[in-house]
Amino acid sequence: MKTRITELFGIQHPIIQGGMHYVGLAELAAAVSNAGGLGIITGLTQKTPELLAKEIARCREMTDKPFGVNLTFLPTVSSPDYPGYIQAIIEGGVKAVETAGNNPQKWLPVLKEHGIKVIHKCTSVRHALKAEAIGCDAVSVDGFECGGHPGEDDVPNFILLPRAAEELKIPFVASGGMADGRSLVAALALGAEGMNMGTRFIATKEAPVHEKVKQAIVAASELDTRLVMRPLRNTERVLNNAAVERLLAKEKSLGAELKFEDIIEEVAGVYPRIMQNGDMDAGAWSCGMVAGLIHDVPSCQELIDRIMWEADQLIRQRLAGMAG
C-alpha cells in the first residue's frame, strides 16, 4: 500500500510501532521494520546516549530496513541528556524520529540538517497544527482511547481524526485503538495516511517483555483500563490492577491536595519490574482500550501481513461491493 506515510519513511506498509518504555527495544523495532512497518526504539529506556547508540547498532544488525527512535520530552526537573541522545541518533544513521510529550521545536533544525524525518505525537488538533507550523514532517494523532498519555481533552478518534484531516496539510497517522485491518481502513477513511499502534505490538512474539504482560493484554477487555494522574494534569491510560486501584483511592481521598509524591510508589520505576520481571501488580503501566480487540500473540510479520490482507479484503470486497 502506498500513502504519504510510506513515501515519507520509505516503508512498505503504513504501520508504525509507537515508542514504548521498556518495550521498544531493538528486538521489537527490528521485527516491525522487517515486516514492512516502521519500528521504533524508545530513546529514554536507554539510560545514557551511549546505551542508545548500542541499541541502534543492535537494531541495525537485525534489520536493513528503516527504523526510528522515540524521544519523549518529559516534564521532569532533571532533564535527560537530549543533545547526547540526538547525537546518538544522528551518528547511528537513523532517519526517523518520533517526538512526544512536549514541543520539539528546539531540536528540529539539527534533525532536519541530517535528513531525519520527524513525526510528532499529538492528542489535539491545536497541537498538531503547532507541530505542522514548526516544521514537523508528519504527526501521529492519539485519540482518547490510546494507551499512555491521551492528554486532557478526551476527544476520541472518530472525531479527532476527521478534525485533524480538516485542518492539517502534513500527513498524519491514526493512533490509539488501532489493532487490525478494520482499524487501518477506518483510519484511512477518516483522513489518516496510516496507523500507529502501541498496545497491539506488545502482544507479539518478538516484544521483549515478560509473557505475563502479553497474557494480561490478551485477557483484558475494553473495560479494563483506567485513567490515572488526572488531578495532576498528566493523565495516563493504564491497565487496571491492585496498584492502580490503590492509586485511584489516593486520588479520591486527597482530591485537589494530591501531589506526585503521594503516588510515587505506584508510578515511579515500575516499568522494568512489570515488563522484565512480570511483577504484574508492581504499579501502573500504560495500556489502551484496544486490549479488548487483542486475542492472540502473533509474530510481527504475521500481524502485519494479516492487517494488510484484511485491509485489502475490506476495501476490495466489502466496501467496493457496497459502493456497487
DSSP 243: H
Can residue 39 be called a binding residue for ligand FMN (CB under 6 A)?
Answer: no
Can residue 197 be called a binding residue for ligand FMN (CB under 6 A)?
Answer: yes
The sign one gets for the Cα dihedral 306, 309, 315, 321 is: negative
Find the DSSP H helices in 14-120. Answer: 26-34, 49-62, 82-91, 108-113
Residue 252 beta carbon to ligand FMN: minimum distance, rounded to whole angstroms: 25
Residue 281 beta carbon to ligand FMN: minimum distance, rounded to whole angstroms: 16
Provide the b/e sequence for 242-269 (b: ≥16 CB within 10 Å).
ebbebbbebbeeeeeebeeebbeebbee
Can residue 42 be called a binding residue for ligand FMN (CB under 6 A)?
Answer: yes
Q: Exactly one of 6, 34, 72, 225 binds ligand FMN (CB under 6 A); which one? A: 72
Give the binding range for ligand FMN (CB under 6 A) out of 104-112, 181-189, 195-203, 249-257: 195-203
Angle among Cα 282, 251, 286 to the nearest 5 degrees reads: 40
Residue 224 beta carbon to ligand FMN: minimum distance, rounded to whole angstroms: 13
Please classify residue 184 by burial: count the beta carbons closer than 10 Å to its beta carbon, then call 0-12 exposed, 13-18 middle and 19+ buried. buried
Q: Exactly one of 8, 9, 15, 18 binds ligand FMN (CB under 6 A); which one? A: 18
Q: Exactly one of 287, 294, 303, 308 binds ligand FMN (CB under 6 A); which one? A: 287
**Given the complex with ligand FMN, which of 21 and 95 has the nearer CB atom?**
21
Q: Which residues bind ligand FMN (CB under 6 A)?
A: 18-21, 23, 42, 70, 72, 100, 121, 142, 145-148, 175-178, 196-200, 285-288, 290
